[in-house]
Amino acid sequence: MNPLPSANYPLVAAGDRADAVSQRPTRARIDLDALSHNLRALRTHAGVPVMAVVKANAYGHGLVPVALHLQAQGVDQLGVAFLEEGVALRRAGVHLPILVMGGIFGPQAAELIAHDLEITVSSLDKLRQVEAAAEALGRKATIHLKIDTGMERIGVHSYHAGPFIEAAVASHWCTVKGVYSHLACADDPSSPMTAQQLERFLEACAHFERIGAPMPVRHLANSGAVLHFPHTHLDMVRPGIAIYGVLPDPASRATVDLRPVMSLVSQVVYFKVVPAGHPVSYGATWAPKTDTRVVTVPMGYGDGFPRSLSSCGEVLVRGQRHPIVGRICMDQFMVDLGPQGTAYNEDEVVLIGLQDGQHIRCEDVAQTAGTIPYEILVGLNTRIPREYVGGAAGAVAAD
Q: Which residues does the annotation mark as catalytic?
A: 55, 282
3/27 Cα distance (integer angstroms): 9
CA 47 to chain centre: 22
Name 340's Cβ contacts closer than 8 Å, sequence gap at least 6.
Answer: 293
- Count the alpha carbons within 13 Å of 26 in the hemisphere toward its beta carbon: 21
CA-angle at 46, arms to 40 and 52, nearest 5°: 60
Q: Report the chain's terminal Cα–Cα distance, integer Å.
A: 18
Alpha helices (H) in the chain, listed in sequence order: 20-23, 32-46, 55-59, 63-72, 83-91, 109-114, 124-137, 161-170, 193-210, 223-228, 362-369, 373-379
Cβ atoms of residues 325 and 371 within 8 Å = no
DSSP annotation of 146 reads E
DSSP character string of 215-255 = P-EEEEE-HHHHHH-GGG-TTEE--SGGGGT--SSTT----
In DSSP terms, which residues pair with 204 in a beta bridge? none
In DSSP terms, which residues pair with 323 in a beta bridge? 314
- Residue 24 main-chain phi, psi, to 5 deg: -70, 125
